[in-house]
Structure 1
Amino acid sequence: MSQAESFIRSADLSDAAQYAYASTAPAEARLIFLAGACPLDLDGSLVGVGDYVAQAEKGMENLRVALTAAGAQLDDVVNIRVLVASSKQSDLVDAWAVVREAFGQRDRPSTLMGVTVLGYTDQLVEIEAVAAVIE
């Protein structure tokens, strides 16, 4: 749906974030709300214990699989939220770099949050997304 969504920027807001501040999807779009993509292998084991980058990579891999199962792809994502279990900004930046690279020039509105704990033991990263597709 990459040609149908609209990304909103404003000269009245800083461009330091290097992403759109909002997005819209046309009324006829089917919205897909993805659960947080966790760094789990198919057998349910956690990938990359202690490694923010490895967990972000696995989270993005699982996000792609979930998007495909829902009939979408990364180009259809209109919003992203990245949760990182850390109070260190450098850990958040490491996880964000993986997500940013995966989306390339597609500067979706995004939120990067440091949280105290995530759902699985030793889990450091979780990636949520909303996609919109026109069928």
Structure 2
Amino acid sequence: MTSVRLVRSSQLSSVAEYAYASAVSLSAERLIFAAGACPLDAEGNTVAVGDVAGQAKQVMDNLDVALREAGATLRDVLKTTVYVASAKQDDLVVAWEVVRARFGDHDAPSTLLGVAALGYDDQLVEVEAVAAV
């Protein structure tokens, strides 16, 4: 059972597809800070070169693995930050739709950013997360 409680407000717009805050009970045993998940395969190659949605899918697969290895799931996530190497809002939306779909009804708070560049060759998407278990 997760110790994460998503916080919504009737005083803020419902346009955002995520909760505006999250809270964790003091009984949580651990906080997990996941490094930015990247669109790399097991050999370290960037996948889906030029494909924002394809990279976002790989990023979420990798984030899921990292969280599971740390003893958490996507449902334990308190907050994410989604980075997209693009100045085009459409590219940000494409990445967000993949990330959002992967979380299902666990719509943890998130920040979505367009950035100039990311760390690996041909990398377009990265997602970091904080979870509590």
Does the alignment reach a TM-score above 0.5? yes
Contact 2:4 2:77 in 1 (8 A): no
Q: Does 1:40 align with 2:67?
A: no
Match of 2:8 in 1: 9
**Secondary structure of the corresponding residue to residue 63 of structure 2:** helix
TM-score normalised per structure 1: 0.94
Deviation (angstroms), 1:8: 1.3
TM-score normalised per structure 2: 0.96
Deviation (angstroms), 1:70: 0.1
Aligned residues: 132
> Structure 2, unaligned stretches of length 5 or more?
none
Deviation (angstroms), 1:28: 2.4
Alignment RMSD, CA only?
0.9
Match of 1:124 in 2: 124
Instruction: Output the CA distance in 1 between the equivalents of 2:54 and 2:9.
Output: 34
Q: Please show how residues 81-120 of structure 1 align to structure 2 within 5 Å.
A: 81-120=81-120
Contact 2:85 2:116 in 1 (8 A): yes
> Structure 1, unaligned stretches of length 5 or more?
none
Instruction: Output the CA distance in 1 between the equivalents of 2:18 and 2:36.
Output: 21
Match of 2:18 in 1: 19
Deviation (angstroms), 1:26: 1.1
AA matched with 1:26: S
AA matched with 1:10: S
Runs of 4+ displaced beyond 4 Å = none
**Secondary structure of the corresponding residue to residue 82 of structure 2:** strand
Match of 1:57 in 2: 57
Contact 2:37 2:63 in 1 (8 A): yes
Deviation (angstroms), 1:13: 1.2
Instruction: Output the CA distance in 2 between the equivalents of 1:26 and 1:73.
Output: 17
